[in-house]
Amino acid sequence: MSSSTTSVPSSQPSALRPEQSRRWAWLRSREMLLLLIFIGVVIVNLNLSPYFLGIDNLVNVFQLSIEKAMMALTMTFVIISAEIDLSVASMMALCATVFGVLFQNGAPVPIAIIGALVVGAVCGAFNGLMIAYLGFPSLAVTLAGLVGYRGLAYVILEDRSASGFPDSFVAFGQSNIPGLPFPPTLVLFALLLALCVAVLHFSAFGRRLFVIGNNKEAARFAGVNVKRIKWSIYVAAGLMSALAGLVYATRIGSVRPDAADGAELDVITMVVLGGVSIFGGSGSLLGVALSVLIVLSLRNGMSLGSINGSFQTSVIGGLLILSLLLPNVFHDARVAWRRLRRVPDHPVRKDGVPKVISDSKT
């Protein structure tokens, strides 16, 4: 008795199909979805007001919320590390208040700026110490910071404002660059964005940060200093909040303890909507940049449409909820679709009975 086995070729996709899939993968990317959403927001805003695409209004879109966009950059690092920082807006208000009080008490502008930056770094270092080295949950620590730092700003300045800053300082946020239709603060944001992109996507520090966000224990066993990296990103977040507070002072010309009250909602929405996983380990600053455009344009369009601030906040809150839910919904739908399209292991006849893949000869 002898037997021979006849192998049946499986139904595999064409060799070109994977290449084509990779070539057009960008069409299914999160960034493409954000770009389409942004185009939709622009169309809606144009229907609300024909002045939306005017140069002055486009500059205002960024200029009036540049501090939120700045804080979103370092918030991206924090969330990729699988942590959160709810205290960024309160740190910004505290640092702006410190700058104003130092100036009013006779300190030169450079000394007042240094004082504000030091306060921001200290607040961020304290957050990082409690979270990275002492092991407290970042949600609890930064929620306490949200209340505590804002309260400290009120203790320092009470319910008053500090103003009277020199024209040379205020001009940085209020006057346009000669020959250009925008102020230097937009150039500052572009430089900060380029720096953050270089650090997050093209450096060893950024690669380690993604590893920490994916699996903290695996990163530790691989020799990554998890505690130091987490501490450093909280220090960076504190410094960025201080810098945002200084930009706020130049733009407004005065500071108050209630500056940027509730801005942490917009900042977190910008990051999470931009594709950064709230669980850490994935995301890109390109997506965050597109999300910044969406959130700021949405706010601006609603303002042009005379929609009150409370409703605007509700819309941004709803957008945050959707940005948290939709990735899970899309993931489940993609998994279900792949299961439906799965090719069976053995060819099947029209009557549903599997073909015999071996025949015996006697």
Dump the DSSP string for 139-208.
Answer: HHHHHHHHHHHHHHHHHHHTT--EE---HHHHHHHHSPPTTSSS-HHHHHHHHHHHHHHHHHHSSHHHHH
Q: What is the pLDDT of residues 220-274, one digit of tens each?
A: 999 999 999 999 999 999 999 999 999 999 999 999 999 988 889 889 988 988 8
Place of tokens 């601030």: 309
Q: 10 Å Cβ neighbour count for 103?
A: 24
Cα 120 to Cα 116, 234, 322: the distances in Å are 6, 10, 32
The structure tokens listed for 269 are 């929405």
Closest CA to 141 of 129, 153, 150, 151: 129
**124 lies in a domain?**
yes
Domain of 229?
29-335
Top-confidence residue, 23 or 212: 212
**60 lies in a domain?**
yes
Q: What is the pLDDT of residues 128-140, one digit of tens each?
A: 999 999 999 999 9
CA distance 65 to 171: 17
**107 lies in a domain?**
yes
**215 lies in a domain?**
yes
Instruction: Decide: 162 and 100 in contact? Cβ < 8 Å.
Output: yes
Taking residues 25-30, report their average pLDDT.
Answer: 58
The model's confidence at residue 321, banded by pLDDT at 50, 70 and 90, is confident
Taking residues 106-130, report their average pLDDT.
Answer: 96
The helix or strand, by DSSP H or E, that contains position 223, with its residue range, turns out to be none
Cα 5 to Cα 108, 150, 355: the distances in Å are 90, 77, 13
Angle between helices 55-63 and 66-80 (to 10 degrees): 50
Q: What is the pTM of this model?
A: 0.81
Instruction: Decide: 118 and 99 in contact? Cβ < 8 Å.
Output: no
* CATH code of the domain containing 266: 1.10.3470
pLDDT at position 248 is 95
**315 lies in a domain?**
yes
Top-confidence residue, 58 or 127: 127
**273 lies in a domain?**
yes
**201 lies in a domain?**
yes
Place of tokens 């996507």: 201
Place of tokens 């005065």: 254
Domain total of the chain: 1
**64 lies in a domain?**
yes
Q: What is the pLDDT of residues 262-319, one digit of tens each?
A: 889 889 988 988 889 888 888 899 989 988 888 888 888 787 777 777 777 787 778 7
